[in-house]
Structure 1
Amino acid sequence: MDERKRDSMIAYLRHRMDDFGISPDDLASALAAAPEAGRYRSANGDSWSGEGAMPQWLKQAISAGQSIGHFELSSGSVSKPPPPAGADWTNDPFAGSPLARSSPARS
């Protein structure tokens, strides 16, 4: 990502955080406190704890040549919670990502 695009993205994120009353500290604490849902996760959000039978999505990815390590979550990974009720995420490119997971500030 070039520097201009990065700066533009940062400005956008700061604006969205201001819209929802999210401070950088709120974001950091939400990312640090989020529970881990599994040991492996697909791009679609499917997860697997590593126990029991390997799920089909992971078997297919490995058969296609992908490394299982590609799907392994790091200790700082976060789960995918449902979007907050009443929020319009239709035009938000970060909806569902760690950047959009903090709750709005409570009045």
Structure 2
Amino acid sequence: MADYGLTMEELDAAECFDPPPPPPPAPVCYRNAEGLTWDGQGEMPSWLKRAINAGQCVEFYRVG
């Protein structure tokens, strides 16, 4: 800080100490009739597993 002539007040005014904003939510890739969703990341949710085990195609639930 001394090399650049900065003060704590200047850094605080520049919001250098604020936490970063949270990441945006992942877009919804799958949705069922009840409104339950899954972004396609991580483990497949139980509602989608049950549907696939019952013979439904996963693409049936794809959004867009």
Q: Provide TM-score, normalisation by structure 1.
A: 0.35
Structure 2 residue matching 1:62: 3-state secondary structure: helix
Corresponding position: 1:51 with 2:41: yes
> What are the within-5 Å matches in structure 2 for residues 1-107 of structure 1?
37-74=27-64
Instruction: Tell me the C-alpha RMSD between the 2 structures.
Output: 1.5
List runs of 5+ in structure 2 lacking aligned partners: 1-25
Cα distance in 2 for partners of 1:42, 1:61 equals 10
Q: Higher RCO, 1 or 2 (CA under 8 Å, sep at least 6)?
A: 1
List runs of 5+ in structure 1 lacking aligned partners: 1-35, 75-107
Q: CA deviation at 1:37?
A: 4.7
Q: Provide TM-score, normalisation by structure 2.
A: 0.58
Per-residue CA deviations over 1:40-83 (Å, capped at 9, x if unaligned) read 00100000000000000000000000000000001xxxxxxxxx
More helix as a share of residues: 1
Identity across aligned pairs (percent)?
Answer: 44
